[in-house]
Amino acid sequence: QRVYKIKQRADSKALIVLTDSEAKVEYYVSEVPETAWQLLDVAVKPLTLIYPGARNLATNLLADDGSIAIRITKEPFSQQLCRLFRKAIVSTSANISGNAAPHNFSEISDEIKNAVDYIVTARRDEIKESLPSSIIKLEADGTIKIIRE
């Protein structure tokens, strides 16, 4: 709820979660389609998959159809955070909903920075642009829909 408030984002727009392993995906999704494993094996950039049949997550993270967007993070800091929490963590761009997403720490608005309790020191000095993940929705009937390349 706090993330939605800070971002001024409608509750009806689902958020993604990060996890550090394939095993955790199986914990949060009732039945992982075989296609998911194939897509994860061939991905060359960060990949967020939207799975049907979410479970074991806060209901306000789910889309209206009960699906959940999950990315298995390869970024070392996020992996460690997931391991330490022993659960998935909410992930979103650090911007007010509708505004451009920042590419690095220096582009995050003061409004966002002042609204949070803590800002980690990791990667603050990076100036390279981060690429957004590809997003693919997997339906229970096997349909695949590309949301963002």
* Contact indicator for 52, 139 with CB cutoff of 8 Å: yes
- The tokens describing 26, both together, are 């199986």
- Residue 110 three-state SS: helix
Q: Give residue 119's pLDDT.
A: 93
Q: Which two tokens stand for residue 29?
A: 């999704």
Q: What is the pLDDT of residue 73?
A: 93
**How many whole angstroms separate alpha carbon 57 and alpha carbon 137?**
18
Domain that holds residue 87: 2-148
* Interval 36-90: pLDDT, tens: 999 999 998 899 999 999 999 998 889 999 999 999 999 899 999 999 999 999 9
Q: What is the pLDDT of residue 13?
A: 81
The answer to whether residues 69 and 46 touch, using CB atoms and an 8 Å cutoff, is: no
**pLDDT tens per residue, range 80-134:** 999 999 999 999 889 999 999 898 899 999 999 999 999 998 888 888 777 778 9
What DSSP character marks residue 15?
A: -
CA angle 142, 133, 78 (to 5 degrees): 110
Q: How many domains does the chain have?
A: 1
Residues 90 and 106: beta-carbon distance below 8 Å: no
For residue 127, what is the domain's CATH number?
Answer: 3.90.870.10
pLDDT at 99: 93
Q: Is 135 a residue whose pLDDT tops 80?
A: yes
pTM value is 0.89
In this prediction, residue 21 carries a pLDDT of: 93
